[in-house]
Chains A and B, each alone.
Chain A
Amino acid sequence: MNWEQLLLMRHELQLLAVILIVICAEIYFSGKDKSSIVPLSIALFGMHTLAGWFPMGEGALFGGMYRTHALIHFLKNILDLGVLVVVLQTAGWVKKQLVPENRVSEFYLLLWSSLLGMYYMISSGDVLMLFIGLEMSTLPVAALAAYEVLRMRSAEAGIKMILMAGLASAITLMGISLLYGATGTFSLTVLSQKLTGTGLETLGFIFFFAGVAFKISLVPFHFWAPDVYEGAPTGIAGYLSVVSKGAAVFILMILLLGFAPSLSGIWIGVLYLLAILTMTIGNLFALRQQNLKRFLAYSSVAQAGFILLGFLSAGQDGRASIIYFVLVYIFSNLAAFGVVHSVEAATGKENMDDYEGFYRVNPRLAMVMLLALFSLAGIPPLAGFFGKFFLFMSAAAGGYYVLVLIAVLNTVISLYYYLLIVRAMFLRKSAHPLPVIQNDYWMRASLLICVAGILVLGVSSGVYDYIFGLCVRL
């Protein structure tokens, strides 16, 4: 085998190098110096993110188990951006909480291993590889959710996550074994040619789908999300809600639209139904939430329902709208999580009532939150509007006007609860407002990135055009 071919895996190798350097730094630095691991990690990951944008070749490795091309490469870059924002947002928390406990490098190790798992998951050309990637991306997150182990809620979140994830993996594995039994192959390419939609294949496919749906937290596989988000450290909740979900959406897209179009008779109906359920139930539960992390959890369940609309159009526009929406969603949701995180870090408060009069004390943070919420609700001229519009458009292209109408009415419901936070921040005055919040540079940088994304991504059409161009193949 030609060693140069391994460079196709440059993205993974880079991240592996970053992880190894951070482990070495852990050995190298001692005592008080440990806090310098944080800037080092951020710098290394920033470099990794940048380097990811350099052009890369395409092809397959290891007998088709690993494959890559321009679109896959771009998807990994999107995930990198999300993780970069998460890393920036957690920097303050890591310094304050983890450095004294001497648990810094493990944090980055876990976070990035999970990202590595996602890379392999997206790049997999083989069901087994896919499963390994799926596992690798899920297990570290359970550890991360329980990272503030002395806090009961965090420990509870970790246990919940690991139990649910374990069950989901078992079901996925069951699905894989059924698919293997029906077709006799693990290779996705061969599988896609052999699938004809027999009963056994359908059963296997549905089991497999359930495992992925768990990661996207589609209704009815969403029950873990609010509890885990609420208990996990806020940065990790943000990671779960955008990066982990985004990766799962990507893999679902590659599998359904790329490899299982022959089964579309089955999954289109399933997705149609799940889209309605996910949007509606996510929205209805979000209406009553007081805790902002739970609130964002349900809101992100609902957002996942909107994403499913993009799957109904087989064309390039459908895929492009999915990827574009995930990209926009990363910025919008992480901006909201960033604000919740800074408030929580400064005051420990995370209820909606606590935000009353927020604008008068912290105008900038309130503006960031306003932009984030409006983008999530799909208000022009913010990026979220375009993301949703293109999703609706691709569903309408398939003729699913009724579904589009249900979805748009759901955005009106979602607007209601997003406006509840706006109401607390802008309309209300409080006798005991939150104090003035001073963020560190890392957090400010992350919010700046998010706001820039929210403002620029929609109005300038270049990004969408680029994604659309990449979507010729999956």
Chain B
Amino acid sequence: MNILLLLLIIPSLTLAGLLFCKEREQARLVSVVGMGLQFVAAFYLLFAFLQERAAGNTAEMLFTSSYKWYEPLNIRFDLGVDGVSVALIVLTAIVTLAGVFISWRMEDLAKEFFISLIALATGVFGFFVSLDLFTMFLFYELAVIPMYLLIGIWGSGPKEYSAMKLTLMLMGGSAFLLVGLLGLYFNSTGAADGHTFNLMEIAAGGIPVEAQRIFFPLTFVGFGVLGAMFPFHTWSPDGHASAPTAVSMLHAGVLMKLGGYGCYRVAVFLMPQAASEMAWFFILLTGFSVIYGAFGAIRQTDLKYINAYSSVSHCGLVLFAILMLNKTAMNGAILQMISHGLMTALFFALIGMLYERTHTRIVQEMGGLMKVLPFISACYVIAGLASLGLPGLSGFVAEMTIFVGAFEHADTFHRVWTILAVSAIVVTAVYILRVVGTMLMGPVNNPEYAHLPAATWYEKTGALLLILPIAAIGMAPLWLSEMIRFSLEPVIRQLGL
């Protein structure tokens, strides 16, 4: 059986199994087993992929298969992966498993929580394995909708407001996306029998430039909403702040990557001419996201808001790098997606743990936590250092590659924006180090904190699951970078560079 199909069957079976669960213990056991299997399958896919490549298989997409679905409309379910999607699938598997561990103590409606969480993950997996615009769109919406229930039922603060805002904004984005996809379909020429939704066939046939000019902005904005592109980022801080821990992790860690991946795989890959023509405008927007997010984070006092704005900044950098339209920068963009996915998930997991103990997320109310919660605090420092791009951790590799790639453009416009974006990294250091200093160092400012319980086994497992790959990518980035680099070839060819 196709390994990619397995990646969809395992979560579906887990969902089916969860329906029959009664107790919380059963539900979380089923989820952990299911997502554990998914984790194993994802790594199996990674090794199988690397082996195929090592064996000299240079096809653009591996493990492809195609299932007929709506024949009269030529809608198929096409599966296939390249290095980029494999990397993102592994990321999703890691974050999902960590998220399940972090939600081990879920009290209220635990079964429903895990069902929604895994439904969300199923959507993400489906999105990454699809080679077909129709199924991509289907899984995209499937991933967004559970967010409403997840934030609305299990969230905190103004959860109803945040949940509604997030859902409507993302669905509004998908409205533009839908029109863009339909435009691609009806302008496609690649298939032998009429129009097609298949990505590779559309790319092979090409889209007329006039159509590209209309549908590129629609598609890019559609995915850009999910990638928190300015000015469509406002759902992100509220949504992340109100969401329960595991949901923030999955959402910032994985779901926002759908936006970046879609911009890269659909918007730029299929409509290269329009992309080169209009890149300048979107560079303005995304560059602004990078700076705005960083300065936004400085002003926040709530840990979750700090991270949400930091995500806006980092995800903006992903889109920014994609729009540089050269190989190095795009390579950096994919690395940044993975790096940011891991470290932001780690951040949110740690914030959740801290909040459970101290019942506050305001930085100034905490102090000296390093002395009472050494494990959590150490992890927080690691995440922080990865986020500000310390060499040896994944963030450095990604950002360095992006800026080297961006600097390959010699004109003033690109140079200026690159320098501005680099300066945002300095700002990142400000807000990360300030939090670390205030919250973790210094004397314990609240006597009640002296008796905080240490991290439990499931919390440690969740955190380690995320830290290990951060360090691994930071120490040995080359294999990952190579895997991605090779997969970028088709896009670069399309761009004619």
Contact = CB atoms under 8 A, between A and B. Distances in A.
Nearest to B142: A380
Nearest to A374: B145
Contact of B149 (A411, A422, A464, A465): A422
A419 B168 CA distance: 10
Contacts of A408: 175-176, 178-179
A409 B172 contact: yes
Interface residues of A, number: 34
Interface in A83-138: none
A317 interface: yes
A68 to B, nearest CB: 24
Contacts of A412: 168, 171-172, 175
A404 B171 CA distance: 15
A320 B138 contact: no
Contacts of A399: 186
A423 B182 contact: no
Given A380-B142, A415-B167, A419-B167, A317 B72 contact: yes
A401 B149 CA distance: 32
A434 to B, nearest CB: 18
A423 B138 contact: no
B138 A426 contact: no
Given A392-B182, A404-B182, A426-B152, A381 B138 contact: yes
Nearest to B173: A412
B148 A461 contact: no
A461 B138 contact: no
B186 A320 contact: no
Contacts of A392: 178, 182
Contacts of A320: 72
A398 to B, nearest CB: 10
A416 B164 contact: yes
A279 to B, nearest CB: 13
A405 B152 contact: no
Contacts of B400: none
Interface in B150-200: 152-153, 159-160, 163-164, 167-168, 171-172, 175-176, 178-179, 182-183, 185-186
Given A412-B168, A416-B164, A422-B148, A397 B175 contact: no
Contact of B179 (A380, A397, A401): A401
A393 B175 contact: no
A411 to B, nearest CB: 7
Contacts of A461: 69-71, 75
Given A411-B175, A412-B171, A412-B175, A396 B70 contact: no
A468 B69 CA distance: 13
A55 B141 CA distance: 39
B153 A427 contact: yes
A379 interface: yes
A379 B71 contact: no
Contacts of A411: 171, 175
Given A405-B176, A411-B175, A412-B171, A381 B72 contact: no
A186 interface: no
A409 B73 CA distance: 24
B142 A468 contact: no
Nearest to B159: A427
B73 A317 contact: yes
A390 interface: yes
Nearest to B176: A405
A380 B138 contact: yes
A468 B72 contact: yes
A171 to B, nearest CB: 36
B160 A423 contact: yes
Contacts of A427: 149, 152-153, 159-160, 163
B141 A385 contact: yes
Contacts of B71: 461, 465
B186 A396 contact: yes
Interface in A356-382: 374, 379-381
A468 B176 CA distance: 27
Contact of A423 (B134, B152, B185): B152
Interface in B105-147: 134, 138-139, 141-142, 145
Nearest to A398: B186
Contacts of B214: 401
Of residues A374, A408, A465, A468, which shows the largest number of chain B Cβ atoms within 10 Å of its Cβ?
Answer: A408
Nearest to B154: A427
A401 B186 CA distance: 11
Nearest to B71: A465
A57 B145 CA distance: 46
B341 to A, nearest CB: 24
A416 B172 CA distance: 11
Contacts of A423: 152, 160, 164
Interface in A273-303: none
Contacts of A379: 141-142, 145
B130 to A, nearest CB: 12
A416 B165 CA distance: 9
B154 to A, nearest CB: 10
B152 A415 contact: no
Contact of B171 (A389, A401, A415): A415
B207 to A, nearest CB: 14
Contacts of A426: 149, 152-153
B183 A401 contact: yes
A374 B141 CA distance: 11
B175 A409 contact: yes
A465 B160 CA distance: 41
A456 to B, nearest CB: 14
Of residues B72, B167, B214, which shows the largest number of chain A Cβ atoms within 10 Å of its Cβ?
Answer: B72
Nearest to A363: B112
Contacts of A380: 138-139, 141-142
B178 A464 contact: no
A416 B160 CA distance: 12
Contacts of A393: 73, 182, 185
Contacts of A317: 72-73
Interface string A311-331: 000001100100000000000
B72 A405 contact: no
A416 B168 contact: yes
B179 A465 contact: no
Contacts of B175: 405, 408-409, 411-412
A397 to B, nearest CB: 6
Contacts of A464: 70, 72
A461 B70 CA distance: 6
Contacts of B178: 389, 392, 404, 408
A69 to B, nearest CB: 19
Contacts of B152: 423, 426-427
A441 to B, nearest CB: 23
Listed from nearest, the 6 A-B pairs whose CB atoms lie closest are A408-B175, A396-B182, A427-B152, A468-B72, A380-B138, A461-B70
Given A317-B73, A419-B148, A427-B152, 16 more contacts: A374-B145, A380-B141, A392-B182, A393-B182, A401-B179, A401-B183, A404-B178, A405-B176, A411-B175, A412-B168, A419-B164, A423-B160, A427-B159, A464-B72, A465-B71, A465-B72
19 contacts: A316-B72, A317-B72, A381-B142, A385-B138, A392-B178, A393-B185, A401-B183, A404-B178, A404-B179, A405-B179, A408-B178, A409-B172, A412-B172, A416-B168, A419-B164, A423-B160, A427-B153, A461-B75, A468-B72
